[in-house]
Structure 1
Amino acid sequence: MKRLFLLISLLVLSKFSAQTWATEDQYIQKFAQYAVEEMEKYKIPASITLAQGLLETGGGQSRLAQEGKNHFGIKCKEDWTGKTMKHTDDAPNECFRVYDDPKQSYEDHSIFLATRKYYTKLFDLDMKDYRAWAHGLKKAGYATNPRYASILIGKIEKYKLYEFDEVNSKEVLYAVLKKYPDLKDDRAFMARMEPAKATKKTTTPVTVKVPYKATSYAQQQQRVERIKTKAEILNSILIKSHPNGGLKYIVIPEDTDVQYIAKKFKISESKLMKWNELEGMVLAKNEVVFLESKNSDGNTATYKAEYGEDMYDIAQKFGIKLNKLYSKNRMDEGQKPSAGQLIYLIDKKPRN
């Protein structure tokens, strides 16, 4: 009898509780609206934008998406004046844009495609031809993954995202509901489909009395966040795995010297100096230091130098031996790249 009662209870609860969706389904439900709105403004297929968002964020689970509201992995570049965050992508500690709202990220992605000369040919394509757009993005160099176009197309066809290319911004929520009919029982989603109720303003001032409570100095001190000492910060350095072949490296959290790092990681000072092409013993905060010999090639074909970067910065960013980097780019030792200059990280293929 108890078993029967339990079964009936579970059935009743399942009928009235909200559906638990997979992360990618949740992402589509939440951000399809933004993708269609951007399609209307910039003529970029909503299916493409949504598929890119799904891929870049891992269904909204990536650190960039959750902490920086950055859904398309857009880096700072020289023209960005907003908030930023450091994140390891092609190289350690790269600078990425931070937004106050994901909607800003979606619009910035549209502006990025619409204003960069590399993507101008995309806008000659049929807006409903998601396959052509996917291959066009790969051809224009949007991503280094050789399978990028097929991955996007796979996402679009798996979730039938092309259906959003056929609707306008006023029809999106109903299109989502058609795709996920069980959402009719999801109060949080349905609330978005109902017009907001007007709230009555009051001019009557409200006074809140807060009783005074004496607090000792010791209690106040407990509330103050404890500041770590320099020694504690340096002692907490973690070894990381570089995208270029998994090379072991660290990022210096506070100014220190080669002797300290050599002792901490049980590596000779001479090897650290050689592997990192160091000329002095001082290591500055945020400096990248490799704990093994760097590679002769990068993990991506090319890179555009940013303002103020020199070849050593690029070599450390991508885990490449400095002399190899100069050689690949036919530059003399000490020669600096100009902002925006294309730097080869892998040897150029000889012409036939």
Structure 2
Amino acid sequence: MTKSPLDRVAQGTPDGVAQRIRGLSDRTIAWIFVAPTIFLLLAVNIFPLIWTIRLSFTNFRVNRPNKDVEWVGLRNYERILNDPDIWNTMQATAHFLIWTIALQVLIGFALAYLINKKFKGNDLWTTIIVFPMMLSPAVVGNFWTFLYQPQIGLFNYAVTFFTGGDPASFSMIGDVHLAPWAIIIADTWMWTPFVMLICLAGLRSIPDSIYEAAECDRASKWRQFWTITIPMALPFLMLAVLFRGIENFKMFDLVVQLTGGGPGNTTTLTSIDLKREAFEKWRTGYSSAYAVILFVTVFGLASIYVKALNKVKDR
């Protein structure tokens, strides 16, 4: 009789090792397999976080490794929280977050609602709509920079047509008031398909029998939309808001590619400001405190939001 590979491995295992393995409990064996992953997570995530918190209480500068490091306590945190420029950056970030999330959720849900209705060419249009999120932020940034350029920029022509300006001397990314909207438009174009896919999953999880029962009760399409579609798709909508909120709070590459944080500081988000403090001014201790504040802000808001999401899912 041919022996299985497991039997051959068992026969090749030394008796002493085999006895020790047989003496291990299931929990111990599970920890043996999980331990490498836990160690990797601690090394990659937890240790850098602890080290950053430690540096936030010092005046350490990474470009001056031989200089004595002083313990400054909460001085870095006080300077950050009392700096008006930091609060202006927070305001710019909040403006970017609110508008991108609102537009992406509204447009994404509308597209998902339309695609959920079976029609000819449904798969083709889905692929076309999803295409922007397949591109890298660098490619998207270059593409939209071209659209925002003077003379040849499509959006510049549209704006100057309604305002009566000169297209040859106008650029959206160079205008103080329109530069933030230039970034919002580009980010919405790129990530609305992601929200659409999440909403589409939510819409297709609703059983058809519920709509059939509503039609038997003579409920109108509008009534079905507000009493069935929206409540049952709401957890997916909230999940999309959570994902996009966290990602857009960290937005960096697309903004740098389009505006570099300008003109002035109108599009300087917290991620760009943090990069300048850490790698241009080399204020490592100060930037570490800045990073800790941002982490606590995102983690706290996300925790509150997840609790609200769980309550909606449990209803």
Judge same fold: TM > 0.5, yes or no: no
Larger relative contact order (C-alpha < 8 A, sep ≥ 6)?
Answer: 2
Greater helix percent: which structure? 2
TM (normalized to structure 2)? Answer: 0.19
TM (normalized to structure 1)? Answer: 0.18
